[in-house]
Structure 1
Amino acid sequence: MSAAVLEARHLSCRTEAGISLVEDVSLEISAGERLAIIGPNGAGKTTLLRMLTGMLRPSQGLVRLAGHRLDRLSAAERALSIAVVGQSDQPDPRLAVIDYVELGRVPHAGLRRRSEDRDVVVDALKRTKLLPLLARTIGSLSGGERQRAQLARAIAQEPKVLFLDEPTNHLDPRARGELLELVAGLGIAVVAVLHDLPLVAPFATRVAVMNRARLAALGLPRETLTPALVREIFAVDVLRLPHPGEEDRELTVFDVPIRLSR
């Protein structure tokens, strides 16, 4: 594995009442790696993500960004290397799409010519298929379009590490795959909290499984998404079947038990 872009050591987060939200998590993210953080509701996924971004100070442990302690960097310094697309982002609905995406260039103000900034913004709009909508307001977009606008702003930021909290919300199945394919093609380190288990293995190079505030497993998708672990943590069965169209691939099916009265 190449040198870590982001390194977390013994991260813990506890409430004032002493309730543990995340307990003793250590991991590393290398350049170009895509780490999926998965786990049941309340497992500590978003809390861990917020500590990794510097938005939440850990009760214990530390995070290093390219070898520098994250808690000793200013918000402006972090923004040069880290971009975050969160669940609760609420852009001003009056903003035009292009103006919103241009906000991703704010950390780089004065570091490039204005024409170069505009080229980066246009490229981000093209990547997310939003160029035809650049004059629309954020408030006029569908949920999926708004999600892509948030990703475009993050891409325009040119981060070394991109953090995504439930990035496939509001997207139909095809759009989910297209968005994660786009993110994977950026070639940068990505940390994504995902709930949709079938998307994890095709997207992630490594998987961190959270359960009851602790790291239950960390490794390659095939090592972590085992039938035993998935059943234990998610109460779901995993079936691996021969792919009907490609001999060298398997089809992974997550069997969710739904029992209806007849």
Structure 2
Amino acid sequence: MRWLKQTWSTQWLREPTADELKGLVDDLLNEKVMAREAQEMGLEKDDTIIRRRLAQKLKFLVEDTAQLVQPTEVELRQFYAANPAHFETPGTLSFRQVYFNPEHRKDAAAEATAALGAFAAKVGDDSIEGDRLLFGDSFADTDEQALSGMFGADFARQVFAFEPGGWRGPVKSGYGFHLVLVTQRTATAPKPFETVKDAVLADWRSAKQTELSRNYMVELRNKYDAALDASAKALLGQENTPKVAAQ
């Protein structure tokens, strides 16, 4: 009764009248007995919406349980040490690039290769000319993620493998071909544990939630002996599907 009153008051910003409250109670009782009768009749079976809703509620319960787990300082430090890439200041590059636009050139890749041979020795020569690019020709203190956002992951990965000094390439991006001269590199540096402790805790909880959910699903599959039958395996192209042990 209190819940019905609170729900009504939250929605309508006033208390329900006696008749309104009686109507709310009648509706709740009707809902409960109809739901029970529907279960007796088996109407919930093979209902996708009901199945998904029940699975969703159980998933929420499992995730809430994971949030109750409290790590020790030692566990957090071990997680921090085991996942250094999550808690570090990314390395950066400063570089110049010369762009060869395939829309303006007959063979942009070949022209870039020829230019590399002709100008590789002219590290400080600003006369190296290419096509105009919206991002410009010089980049300072750019990390790999930012570079990937501009030119693509493959381009960023290749450029970050270059050491400073000397023109390299051609490197292909989504725009065309580039000659690249790395002028400066700053190394990736770990952030002190004390400064990222909150982030470590958040990542630890996320990892623990994933671990507990995975293990719980393994237990449920084993409990109900849920496995692919031969016809399902054939459709998936699997000859054998071994059960997965909990971590």
Q: TM-score band, normalised by the shorter chain?
A: under 0.3
Bigger share in helix: 2
Bigger share in strand: 1
TM-score calculated relative to the size of structure 1: 0.20
Of structures 1 and 2, the larger Rg is shown by 2
